[in-house]
């Protein structure tokens, strides 16, 4: 300790204090302040760039999801439209079928009615013809009656053969 105290040089201490003080002041002004400022600026710049990149990425993500959403919407809409169209088609077809059936039914009924009335007329006509023919036959039979009984029968038979029921 005695040695240490003896070695302590007040002059050197004084010089060191002055040099260090001046050095700190000079270094602060000319070196540390600009260095630390530019380091800070650079780090902030890097941080900002990173943030911007992250934001851009996020926006891109948003855009992507938006696109996907829009795409999905469009698809469902298309699907819906298709479905509607199909349904419409089906209803149209079934309606048409029903209508056609009804029409056909009507036509059939009409036809049946016509047939019935025609049939009636035909039957009436036939009755008239049968009556006329019967009268004709009867007339001829009556005319040939005189000659022969056998001839009479032949005649009837031939006449009946002529008659066609149409």
Partner 1 sequence: MRVFQQTLKYSVVLLLTLSSSIIFAGSGGNGDHDKKGNPIDTQEEIKAYIKHHLQDSHDFTFYTDGQSGTHYGFPLPVILWDQGVKMFMSSKFHHGETVAQSGDSFYKLYHGKIYKTDAEGTITYDDHQHPTNVKPLDLSITKSVVGMILVSVLMLLMFSSLAKGYKKGPIPTGFARVLEPLVIYVRDEIARPNIGEKKYRKFMGFLLTVFFFIWILNLLGLTPLGFNVTGNIAVTVCLALFTFFIVQFSGNKDYWKHIFWMPGVPVLMKIILMPIEILGMLTKPFSLLIRLFANITAGHFVVMSLIALMITMKAAFGPVASTGMSIVLSLFISVIEILVAFLQAFIFTMLSSLFIGMAVQEHDHH
* Sites for partner 1 among residues 30-89 (CB under 8 A): 30-36, 38-39, 41-42, 45
Q: Report the nearest approach of partner 1 to the CB of residue 60 (Å).
A: 27
Q: Report the nearest approach of partner 1 to the CB of residue 61 (Å).
A: 30
Nearer to partner 1, 41 or 148 (CB): 41
User: How many helices (H) and strands (E) would you count in the chain?
Assistant: 4, 0
Q: How far is CA 5 from the centre of its chain?
A: 102
Candidates 3-11, 61-69, 79-87, 99-107: pick the segment binding partner 1 (CB under 8 A). Answer: 3-11
Side-chain-side CA neighbours of 69 within 13 Å: the count stands at 6
Q: Report the nearest approach of partner 1 to the CB of residue 43 (Å).
A: 9
Cβ(128)–Cβ(109) below 8 Å: no
- As given in the structure block, the two tokens for residue 48 are 């900002």
Cβ(157)–Cβ(140) below 8 Å: no
**Footprint of partner 1 (CB under 8 A):** 4, 6-17, 19-20, 22-24, 26-28, 30-36, 38-39, 41-42, 45
């Amino acid at each position: 300790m005695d040695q240490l105290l003896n070695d302590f040089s007040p002059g050197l201490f004084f010089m060191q204090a002055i040099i260090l003080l001046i050095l700190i002041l000079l270094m602060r002004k000319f070196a540390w302040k600009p260095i630390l400022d530019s380091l800070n600026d650079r780090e902030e710049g890097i941080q900002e760039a990173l943030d911007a990149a992250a934001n851009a990425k996020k926006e891109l993500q948003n855009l992507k999801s938006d696109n996907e959403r829009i795409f999905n919407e469009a698809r469902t809409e298309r699907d819906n439209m298709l479905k509607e169209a199909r349904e419409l088609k089906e209803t149209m077809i079934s309606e048409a079928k029903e209508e056609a059936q009804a029409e056909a039914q009507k036509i059939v009924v009409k036809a049946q009615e016509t047939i019935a009335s025609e049939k009636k007329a035909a039957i009436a006509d036939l009755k008239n013809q049968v009556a006329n023919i019967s009268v004709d036959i009867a007339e001829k039979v009556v005319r040939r009656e005189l000659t022969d009984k056998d001839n009479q029968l032949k005649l009837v038979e031939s006449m009946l053969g002529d008659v066609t029921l149409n």
